[in-house]
Amino acid sequence: MNKLLAALIAGLFAFSANAFAADDGTGDIKQDTQNMQKEKRDIVRDDHDINRDKRDLGKDARELNKDRAERNRLQAQENKEIKEGDAKDAQSLEVKREKEQREINGEKRDISKDKAELAKDRNRDAQKLKRERADRRHDKKE
């Protein structure tokens, strides 16, 4: 991700160098600088969003693993109760285990949503970089 950010910033600087070199006095340098600053802020904001999404994914994965361990522990305890013939305790453990399974399913959904959002953010950054490169090529031709 840092490589992408570095590439975007390098592209912005290269674009600015071309803009200043190609300026024949009719262009508004101040406007170009403001546009570049705005694009830089957008890139930084997108980078923060991507990092936040990565943290969310890690947090959800840890919670999922914890919930799975709890569910497995309850399953083993339920099996033990059934072996010992204590059906009432086994039934209460089954209810707890089913609750844990619902939580696990919820965590899986959260992870899927976070992955989709992260992919969307990465795609948006890639599109910005592609547009910047196209603009630079277009500016070179003129």
pLDDT for 136 beyond 80:
no
Confidence of residue 132 (pLDDT cuts 50, 70, 90): confident
Determine what percent of the chain is predicted with pLDDT higher than 70: 77
pLDDT at 45: 85
Does pTM surpass 0.75? no
Is residue 1 within 8 Å of 126, Cβ to Cβ? no
pLDDT at 9: 66
Nearest-angstrom CA–CA distance, 62 and 69: 11
Q: Which helix (DSSP H) or strand (DSSP E) does residue 74 occupy? A: helix 29-84
Spans of all domains in the chain: 2-8+47-141
pLDDT at 85: 80
